[in-house]
Structure 1
Amino acid sequence: MDRPALETGPLTPAEIRADLTRSGLNLIGQALSIFDADLRLAVANRQYQAMFDLPEALTLPGASFEDTIRFLVLRGEYGPQNDPEAAVALRVAQARTFQPHYFERQRADGRWITVEGAPLTQGGWVTVYTDITDAKQQEALLRARSEELSEQVLLNAERLAAANRQLAATNAALSEAQRILTRTEARTRQVTEMVPAHIAHMDGQFRYTFSNRRLPSIFPGAAGQIVGLTLEQALGPATCATLQPYMARALSGDPQVFEITHPTSGRRIRIALTPDREGQGAYILSTDVSAEVQAREALVHAGKRSLAAQLTSGMAHDFGNLLTIILGLQARLASRIEAGELPAAASEDVQATLAAARRGAALLDRLARISAPREPSLEPTDLGALLADLATLSRPSLSEGVTLDLQVQPWPPALLLDPGALQDSLLNLILNANAAIRPPGRITLSAARSGDWLELVVRDTGPGFSPEALTRATEPFFTTKKGQGSGLGLAMVYDLTKLVDGTLRLENHPGGAQVTLRLPWRPVARQMVLLVEDDDLIRAQVRDMLTGLGHAVIEAASLSEARALADLPGLTVILSDIQLGDGLGLDLDAPLPVILMTSLPPGAPLRARAAGPVLTKPFTAARLAATLAEAR
């Protein structure tokens, strides 16, 4: 059990701890043994060997429990045995059940011991043997010298002593069980708190009895400590009203899996409710599936858009030629009317034909926009000025009696937006709202920050969306204007919004329809960029992109030059090529964010070494702007 004497060299930390453990066990007055799940000795102290006079081989780690029992049985430890092997097999079978036990027995040499065993969570068990011979002798002496005491008093005293010993053993087992339970509960809580989902339990009164404290990460703005709170107290009246019917069905024993949109954050959340049939409650698993839903919607929408492109691309060229011919012929007819060769009454027909042809040309242009790939064009934008210009542009097109109100908060000097796409989208929504309103009416365009989002809302006082429109309005060619619309407006708005990582939500409010655009909140921070690129042409192109985005630029044509400039006061970020003429941009050591550029494909060894963001050449100004915004 001790370190072999022949072993030399300094002790390792593990060996030192093992020696300390053995020393501590050897100081215990009782004998102690620990066997593992395979019934092999793991630990024993010297008192264990001394109490049972065991050979050295049976006290070393790995000794077999069966061999130890056989040695004791054959020596007579358990008294005469008609079938020693059966006695050994019986005790081995009992040991394999790993049940807690306590008993007192008299050994063959006449001494009394208590045997107290407790199973271990890792498998196996620990047993403590205590010599109680002196206590038994004291009891016998008391009986012999206390003739005055009644037999019943003596019996009760003996029973009380035995009960006290058994109670002490039981208390020790309970303490160990409580320690294990506490440690297991702590480990379980630690694991559940690492899961990127909210796990909870709710009782029959809609009150939380357990939570892994991840609720705020799924429902932004919710309380963190919710145990003891009701559903309404934790999530608010609006979300509670949505969840309560599902929860009621789960409490009645019907499992539920559903998705909701969180009203304040716009997140899509999937919730699974599992009835707790024993506890009269329900287990709750809530996960944020916004990215999954957006990807699913984008895939479906992309499929429909691809179908639209396939349907139109084949005929677009011929249709364009036909429109060109029609426009040319109508122009000739108009000139002949002006010359008096044709009656003036035909002028209205000619103008109507021209208008229809021009409308067809505009439709072709919109089809091209929705079917062709498009890159976002993010740039610093004064949102207040953009919305004011939009109002000026759209008001003359509104029906008489329809007004447009702007509700705009003060903004930072600039936000990173695609101004052309945003203005097109909002104009489309305003004109759609105008078409739905019966004058007099009102259209409201509001803009506000909502957490990490810029939220733009277009509301009208019209009849609202039909149930079909709420589910199909963003499909190409879907329209409710009965032949007057192309069905491409909201599809275009959807595409432009998704292109800049935004979301689009259609809904009805008590007074009409409402469309909400959520765009990432990207305030433009004017930065001083150290641009490191050894190719003069590429460096000039990237410099123009940076200055166009409003940033100040300091240029370096080599790694050594960049290192000399990296500590300039005012620098906020370094933008460097990975492979430079005199070294690698990867080796730039500066206390600043470093963005790398490369033409190497993803997965290339050099690229894989990058600790920060990597831009793939060639890149657009929009991609550069987004990367700079994320690197701050």
Structure 2
Amino acid sequence: MPQTPAAIQTLTAAGLNLIGQALTIYDNDLRLAVCNARFQSMFDLPDNLVMIGAPFEETIRHLAQRGEYGEVDDVEAFVRERVEQARAFQAHYMERTRATGTIISVEGSPLPQGGWVTVYTDITRTKQQEVLLRARSEELSDQVLAHTEELASTNRALASTVSTLEETKRHLTKIEARTRLTTEMMPAHIAHVDEAGHYTYSNRRLSSVIPNRPSDIVGLHISDALGPTVYSKVRDHLQTAFSGLEAVHEFSDIDSARRIRVAFTPDSNGGAYVLSMDVTQETQARVALQQTRRRTLAAQVTSGMAHDFSNLLTIILGMQSSLARIDGLPKEANALIDATLSAAQRGGQLLSSIAEMTGQPLPNPRATDPHVLLQDLQTLARPSLPSGMTLTVTDLLPDASILLDSGTVQDSLLNLILNARDACQPDGAITLCAETVHDTWVQFTLSDTGAGFSAHALEHACDPFFTTKGKDGSGLGLPMVYDMTKLAGGDLQLGNQSGGGAVVRLRLPLRFSPTGTKGLVLLVEDEDDLRAHYRDLLIGLGHSVVEAISVQEATALIETIPDIQLVLSDIHLSGEGTGLDLMNGLRKTGTPVILMTSLPETDPLHRMACATTLVLHKPFSPADLAAALTPKVAQ
């Protein structure tokens, strides 16, 4: 297979660098065309004078000023003389003693197409040996001369070997630099630990995966780099790798609230390779999808049961009504009839709650002003509280629009407030604190001064139909909050305060809504007619638009056009990859993405998209698009 010009150039450079002499080729314009590494090291030249195109005049001036040619009274005159000699270049050989005391031979020959080639050889040791041999020639025996020649031959072989090793070292250094650059660009921590647990290699990404950890960790023990809490979570899995088996483990970092996945792969020397990744957003999407699947299954199971029970309750209500109209019944029968009717009606209400819980739509996050959401929540909650009870709301959320389903969030928080109210009757204090946890979660912490959760309630409070309110409770309040939270990719934690009273933490993924600036939008849609329609809508809203039909085209545009401020992409696209793949690939750039789809809400891709970003369901109106691009309070 023929070599490419680049490959031939690389081979030529490697060959020239193995030569022990310094070599240069200048063209007929007196500019450097070729040189080897020995030329730079022999004359200690700066990098700019060994670059292709470096002027011969500048090189001579640099050497003269540095004293290469001894004392020079007029440097510029000296340079002009050398330049004139070079323009009328003739073949020559000369030996000269440098200012450093070393002796070099200079052999030059003109080239047919113009320019010349020069070879510089360090002959200092040769000259020294010649002087020594001449001075002691009468005293040296033939054996000594033969030994000297043998040593000289050995030295030449060693010098050749050293040159080969140096060139190999240069290549290995380049390979290592490329490998390290690749690992540094990976959105993961890549490392190796020896059999004692000390890092022998690491890229500088540990602190980006697990915040507040050191980046320069080579030589540290893994327990010192990770800290005692995290190390205790991965220690057993690391030991598994040390024993020769692969191990993969996920854990939550308490300090950063991130979900981390770490993989340990054994090496052949008792150590292990380590790959750590931040999978927080992946986990949020997975939790949302799992909860959706559970709810779908529950809906399938309960729908048939609800239908049959509704029929039975209808029959019971009808029979009890008929029984109440019979004359001559004893007085105690009326009380039993009323109780039966009340129980049947309560059963009907319970069936309605089950239907609402299993059949409610997926979360629809919209650009939401969190401060307005909390203000509206207080307006809704305060009339439901007794006069002696206080509700204190601490708003520590940022002054930016956040992607939230404001309706479900308000319903969930109102449900928690009413539960706290019942636990604090007739008076007490309820506190709600809203804040962000690092760059990962929006956290709502609600506490009260009631009796708190019992151990049994902490274990079963989120189970459907579990209640501590007796006949006054349906047992569906907290389960509905849990369900809505999980559907959004969040988490619900129950506990008690050290001083008494319950505490509930509701966490939702923190995602800021796209900015409303009239900037450049990348539109990714594979249907020509639809793409033209959406382009007109965007232009009508004041945006500039570039277009793509696949993930590959979109990625190429993003890499070449730095001014793209937002991506509007369909989920299904031409070629390999989906809009979700495009969004995941853009996480490290921070470019906001809005997805659009005609898939039904029950489709897994639609569910995953709703759990991670804003989704427009086709067909949508210009007003819907404007609302998505211009953050405002979601009604």
Q: Given the two structures, how large is their TM-score scaled by the length of structure 2?
A: 0.54
Task: Pick one of 427, 436, 442 that aligns with 1:449.
Answer: 436
Is the Cα contact below 8 Å between 2:538 and 2:545 reproduced in 1? no
Deviation string, structure 1 residues 318-341 (Cα, Å, up to 9, x no partner): 43355456667878999x99xx99
The residue aligned with 1:272 is 263
Partner Cα distance (1:19, 1:184) in 2: 14
Equivalence map 1:310-349=2 (5 Å) = 310-323=300-313
Is the Cα contact below 8 Å between 1:199 and 1:283 reproduced in 2? yes
Matched, 1:370 2:357: yes
The residue aligned with 1:36 is none
The residue aligned with 1:385 is 375
Equivalence map 1:249-268=2 (5 Å) = 250=241, 255-268=246-259
Matched, 1:288 2:278: yes
- Cα distance change on mapping 1:236 and 1:435 into 2, 3 Å: farther
User: What letter matches 1:193 in structure 2?
Assistant: E
- Cα distance change on mapping 1:192 and 1:376 into 2, 3 Å: same
The residue aligned with 1:199 is 190
Deviation at 1:150, TM superposition (A): 6.4
Deviation at 1:277, TM superposition (A): 6.0
The residue aligned with 2:84 is none
Deviation at 1:17, TM superposition (A): 8.5
Q: How many residues end up aligned between the 2 structures? A: 467
Q: Secondary structure at the match of 2:294?
A: helix
Deviation string, structure 1 residues 524-570 (Cα, Å, up to 9, x no partner): 9677899xxxxxxxxxxxxxxxxxxxxxxxxxx9999997x78xxxx
The residue aligned with 2:175 is 184
Partner Cα distance (1:526, 1:292) in 2: 27
User: What letter matches 1:213 in structure 2?
Assistant: R
Equivalence map 1:440-479=2 (5 Å) = 445-450=432-437, 451-458=439-446, 461-463=452-454, 477=464, 479=466
Task: Pick one of 402, 406, 422 that aligns with 2:409.
Answer: 422
- Cα distance change on mapping 1:224 and 1:28 into 2, 3 Å: closer
Is there any run of 5+ residues in structure 1 with no aligned partner, and where?
A: 1-12, 33-129, 531-556, 579-588
Higher relative contact order (CA 8 A, sep 6+): 2
Partner Cα distance (1:26, 1:396) in 2: 89
Deviation at 1:294, TM superposition (A): 4.5
Is the Cα contact below 8 Å between 1:143 and 1:154 reproduced in 2? no
Deviation string, structure 1 residues 426-478 (Cα, Å, up to 9, x no partner): 34445667889999998653310222532223457424578965xxx767x47
- Cα distance change on mapping 1:16 and 1:525 into 2, 3 Å: closer
Is the Cα contact below 8 Å between 2:396 and 2:435 reproduced in 1? yes
- Cα distance change on mapping 1:465 and 1:309 into 2, 3 Å: same
The residue aligned with 2:37 is none
- Cα distance change on mapping 1:560 and 1:507 into 2, 3 Å: closer
The residue aligned with 1:517 is 507
Is the Cα contact below 8 Å between 2:19 and 2:163 reproduced in 1? no
Equivalence map 1:478-497=2 (5 Å) = 479=466, 488-497=476-485
User: What letter matches 2:619 in structure 1?
Assistant: P
- Cα distance change on mapping 1:152 and 1:237 into 2, 3 Å: same
Deviation at 1:517, TM superposition (A): 1.9
Deviation string, structure 1 residues 226-276 (Cα, Å, up to 9, x no partner): 445555665455434433454456557665321102324443322122345
Q: Given the two structures, how large is their TM-score scaled by the length of structure 1?
A: 0.55
Matched, 1:168 2:169: no
Partner Cα distance (1:235, 1:393) in 2: 50
User: What letter matches 2:137 in structure 1?
Assistant: S
- Cα distance change on mapping 1:264 and 1:488 into 2, 3 Å: farther
Deviation at 1:618, TM superposition (A): 1.8
The residue aligned with 1:581 is none
Equivalence map 1:67-82=2 (5 Å) = none
User: What letter matches 1:456 in structure 2?
Assistant: F
User: What letter matches 1:211 in structure 2?
Assistant: S
Equivalence map 1:77-92=2 (5 Å) = none
Deviation at 1:191, TM superposition (A): 2.6
Partner Cα distance (1:577, 1:323) in 2: 59
Among all aligned residue pairs of Structure 1 and Structure 2, give the percentage whose two residues are the same amino acid. Answer: 44
Is there any run of 5+ residues in structure 2 with no aligned partner, and where?
A: 24-120, 521-532, 549-560, 580-590, 598-617
Is the Cα contact below 8 Å between 2:204 and 2:216 reproduced in 1? yes
Deviation at 1:396, TM superposition (A): 5.0
User: What letter matches 1:286 in structure 2?
Assistant: S
Q: Secondary structure at the match of 1:213?
A: coil
User: What letter matches 1:518 in structure 2?
Assistant: L
Equivalence map 1:90-169=2 (5 Å) = 142=133, 146-149=137-140, 154=145, 157-169=148-160
Is the Cα contact below 8 Å between 1:447 and 1:455 reproduced in 2? yes
Deviation at 1:285, TM superposition (A): 1.1
Is the Cα contact below 8 Å between 2:435 and 2:443 reproduced in 1? yes
Q: Secondary structure at the match of 2:275?
A: strand
User: What letter matches 1:359 in structure 2?
Assistant: R
- Cα distance change on mapping 1:431 and 1:248 into 2, 3 Å: farther
Equivalence map 1:601-616=2 (5 Å) = 602-603=573-574, 615-616=596-597
The residue aligned with 2:203 is 212
Is the Cα contact below 8 Å between 2:189 and 2:209 reproduced in 1? yes
Partner Cα distance (2:418, 2:10) in 1: 84
Partner Cα distance (2:331, 2:454) in 1: 43
The residue aligned with 1:71 is none
Is the Cα contact below 8 Å between 1:576 and 1:597 reproduced in 2? no
Deviation string, structure 1 residues 1-34 (Cα, Å, up to 9, x no partner): xxxxxxxxxxxx9599869959x9699799x9xx
Deviation at 1:488, TM superposition (A): 4.7
Deviation string, structure 1 residues 269-301 (Cα, Å, up to 9, x no partner): 2212234563x6432111334455455544543
User: What letter matches 2:189 in structure 1?
Assistant: H
Deviation at 1:384, TM superposition (A): 2.4
Segment of structure 1 superposing worse, 180-189 or 615-624: 615-624
Is the Cα contact below 8 Å between 1:502 and 1:520 reproduced in 2? no
